[in-house]
A and B are shown apart, each in its own frame.
Chain A
């Protein structure tokens, strides 16, 4: 299974602060995704990214969220002003031409 890395593994931040979550996918993969999982709940789609632009975003992905791939490798998710309800596991996923999406190990975000 192709390996995706995410940093940091755990981030603690205060409400109102900005956070940037990073993902390093496989370089030749084309499609990138962010999902989140609030503790004890199902995994929810946030945004998909293809060819350096957003393909689709969910209603969760409001103006507080942004994604970019600044250097052609790292894929980042920024939350501008965190809220308590943003506390969750955030997963980066990627896909090549195949059907499967492979997930990174996740970043656990705790907002206090």
Chain B
């Protein structure tokens, strides 16, 4: 079974600084997708960024980028120029390739952004 591990329950970053959230996963599949979701206090799940396992290039979405290390099964999220609105829970998620396959989530990292 696939597992996703987020070893940082809480992180803090100052506004305008950069922070990296860690995620590791375990799978025997070769084709899969990885995601980061943001959950603000409203508890809405918002997709931040995704990465296809077959792509070597790291995904980037504006201030958000990932460091995908397939051999190490590591998928970290870097937030640059942090803003107060980035404060939220961040969940790493895995999905194997396939039609209706489910998302498997990590336990989340709570990010605080301070002035």
Contacts and interface: CB of A to CB of B under 8 A. Distances in A.
A58 B104 CA distance: 11
A56 interface: yes
B105 A42 contact: yes
A1 B47 contact: yes
B99 A103 contact: no
A101 B106 CA distance: 16
B100 interface: yes
Contact of A35 (B33, B42, B101, B103): B103
Interface in B22-57: 33, 35, 37, 42-47, 50, 52
Nearest to B97: A99
Interface residues of A, number: 27
A55 interface: yes
A49 B99 CA distance: 10
Interface of B: 33, 35, 37, 42-47, 50, 52, 91, 93, 95, 99-108
Interface of A: 1, 31, 33, 35, 37, 41-45, 48-50, 55-56, 58, 89, 91, 93, 99-103, 105-106, 108
Q: Which 3 A-B pairs have the closest CB atoms?
A: A103-B45, A55-B100, A45-B102
